């Protein structure tokens, strides 16, 4: 039991660090800091520039790229401004390095001491691969904003964000497997419904990334209808030629899907909650469902106010953090309904 607890604490600490990284990633995005570091080195970027000469050299390098040349050159952008955006991107990458160390060093120790069972070991190898892939997705995203367009691809941003959520959820799932090793009879209808709800929540998270990447929260700042009292605004069909592009690349279309999908997610969670009343539930299952209902209504409310107030930094960040809590509750509930 002792060795199990140490592995559990290790995995849960990884969950906390991934959560912190997503929070800092949200700040990085909302402060437009993500393109401040124009290259990536595993070791030499570990510390920020420590002398005036190095700061000036980094700033001069930044000036060679589209974000400065097309946007910030017109904003009286000075070295002090650059230091601010550099900090958030550096801090985001620094936490990524810490996560790598926190995972790899204890993992090697547990491996040598044979304190991880075979089944958990396989899952840990998957987590190791997911961590490496997430690092690649991060650079893949940043690179898209360093060529011609001074903004990252919203597809790549959504990929990076969603995969961070998935990595967190899987880490939590592996932890829960160890916390609750006992098997019990599964309520199949609830398990199936919870899986469907989980998938729709992930789709909503993906569209949250689309909205963030396109700055689509800065338009149609009305609720429950879009601008001009329209449920389906005319601009949706005007922005792009094809229906697929309208709902994946057009700002109005992406916002429409995100705001409409919110109703779907709320409805599914409520359906799951009331359907569960027909079955005898454990205390863990009931607590998970209660948390799910509370957090989804909180998240829905935050989403409405984030839209109405045109995405102020603090509200946008709280909205993203609450999405993380919602995924946590969803993962926990699905786990308790599945095993």
Output the 3-class SS for 140-165.
Answer: HHHHCCCCCCCCCCHHHHHHHHHHHH
Question: According to the model, what pLDDT value does residue 1 have?
Answer: 39
Question: In angstroms, how far is CA 6 from the centroid of its own chain?
Answer: 27
Question: According to the model, what pLDDT value does residue 2 have?
Answer: 45
Backbone angles phi, psi at 218, to 5 degrees: -95, 0
- What DSSP character marks residue 187? -
Q: 286 or 139: whose pLDDT is higher? A: 286
Question: Of 120, 87, 99, which is closest to residue 20 (Cα–Cα)?
Answer: 99
Q: What average pLDDT does the segment 242-268 reach?
A: 97
| Coil, helix or strand at residue 63 | coil
DSSP secondary structure string for all residues of 207-266:
HHHHHHHHTGGGS---SSS-GGG-SS-THHHHH-SSHHHHHHT-HHHHHHHHHHHHHHHH
10 Å CB burial of residue 202 (0-12, 13-18, 19+) is middle
Portion of the chain with pLDDT greater than 90, in percent: 79
pLDDT per residue over 94-114, tens digit each? 999 999 999 999 999 999 988
pLDDT per residue over 189-209, tens digit each? 999 999 999 999 999 999 999
Question: According to the model, what pLDDT value does residue 148 have?
Answer: 78
Question: According to the model, what pLDDT value does residue 46 have?
Answer: 82
Question: According to the model, what pLDDT value does residue 146 have?
Answer: 82
Mean pLDDT of the chain: 93
Residue 33 has pLDDT above 60, yes or no: yes
| Coil, helix or strand at residue 76 | coil
pLDDT per residue over 314-325, tens digit each? 999 999 999 999
pLDDT per residue over 49-98, tens digit each? 889 999 999 999 999 998 988 888 888 899 999 999 999 999 999 999 99
Contacts of residue 129, Cβ cutoff 8 Å, sequence gap at least 6: none
In this prediction, residue 278 has a pLDDT band, given cuts at 50, 70 and 90, of very high
Question: According to the model, what pLDDT value does residue 152 have?
Answer: 86
């Amino acid at each position: 039991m002792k060795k199990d607890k140490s592995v559990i604490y290790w995995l849960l600490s990884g969950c906390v660090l991934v959560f912190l990284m997503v929070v800092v990633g949200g700040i990085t995005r909302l402060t437009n800091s993500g393109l401040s570091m124009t290259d990536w080195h595993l070791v030499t970027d570990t510390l920020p520039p420590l002398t005036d000469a190095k700061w000036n050299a980094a700033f001069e390098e930044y000036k060679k790229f589209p974000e400065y040349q097309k946007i910030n050159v017109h904003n009286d952008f000075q070295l002090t401004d650059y230091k601010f955006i550099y900090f958030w991107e550096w801090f985001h990458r620094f936490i990524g390095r810490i996560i790598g160390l926190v995972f790899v060093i204890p993992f090697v120790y547990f491996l040598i001491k044979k304190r991880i069972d075979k089944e958990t070991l396989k899952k840990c190898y998957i987590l190791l691969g997911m961590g490496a892939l997430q690092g690649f997705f991060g650079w893949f995203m940043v690179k898209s904003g360093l060529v011609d367009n001074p903004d990252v691809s919203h597809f790549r941003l959504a990929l990076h964000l969603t995969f961070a959520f998935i990595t967190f959820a899987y880490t939590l799932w592996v932890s829960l497997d160890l916390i609750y090793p006992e098997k019990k009879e599964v309520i199949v209808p609830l398990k199936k419904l919870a899986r469907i709800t989980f998938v729709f929540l992930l789709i909503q998270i993906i569209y949250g990334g689309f909205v963030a990447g396109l700055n689509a929260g800065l338009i149609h700042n009305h609720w429950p209808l879009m601008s001009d009292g329209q449920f389906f605004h005319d601009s949706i069909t005007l922005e792009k030629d094809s229906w697929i592009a309208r709902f994946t690349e057009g700002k109005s279309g992406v916002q429409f899907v995100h705001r409409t999908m919110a109703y779907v997610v709320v409805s599914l969670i409520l359906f799951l909650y009331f359907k569960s009343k027909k079955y005898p539930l454990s205390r863990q299952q009931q607590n998970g469902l209660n948390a799910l209902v509370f957090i989804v209504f909180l998240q829905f409310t935050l989403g409405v106010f984030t839209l109405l107030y045109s995405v102020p930094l603090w509200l946008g960040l709280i909205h993203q953090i609450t999405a993380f809590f919602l995924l946590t509750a969803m993962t926990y509930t699905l786990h308790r309904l599945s095993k």
